Amino acid sequence: MAVNYVMMERVDGKTAPQLDKDLRDIIDAGNNEIHIDMTNTKYMSSAGLRALLSAQKSINKLSGSMVLSGVSDAVREIFDVTGFSGFLTIED
């Protein structure tokens, strides 16, 4: 069963710990398919990138999938520049 998660507007040093906890809780509950709606996300810091990386690694160990959708051009550029777009599944 896929779990839908709506990401906050700003993912930075202040909000990333909550994102990390939310994603860990979803995975620890036995869910290995996560759909993350990033429609409202306008900013992503390195702390947010770390949370996504951690979740992706955990999902990979479970042979699951994590899909990001609604990624803004600004956030997509961050993923591209950092190389994250190479291992995250981004849906248009």
CATH code, domain carrying 71: 3.30.750.24
Condensed to tens digits (0 to 9), the pLDDT of residues 44-81 reads: 999 999 999 999 999 999 999 999 999 999 999 999 99
Question: Do 44 and 11 touch, CB atoms closer than 8 A?
Answer: yes
46 in a domain, yes or no?
yes
Structural domain that includes position 66: 3-81
49 in a domain, yes or no?
yes
Task: Give yes or no for residue 31 having a pLDDT over 70.
Answer: yes
87 in a domain, yes or no?
no
Counting DSSP H helices and E strands in the chain, the numbers are 3, 6
In angstroms, the CA 74 to CA 63 distance is 29
Please tell me the total count of domains within the chain. 1
User: What pLDDT shows up at residue 1?
Assistant: 65
Banded model confidence at residue 17, pLDDT cuts 50, 70, 90: very high
Mean pLDDT for all residues in the chain: 96
| pTM, two decimal places | 0.94
User: What pLDDT shows up at residue 68?
Assistant: 98
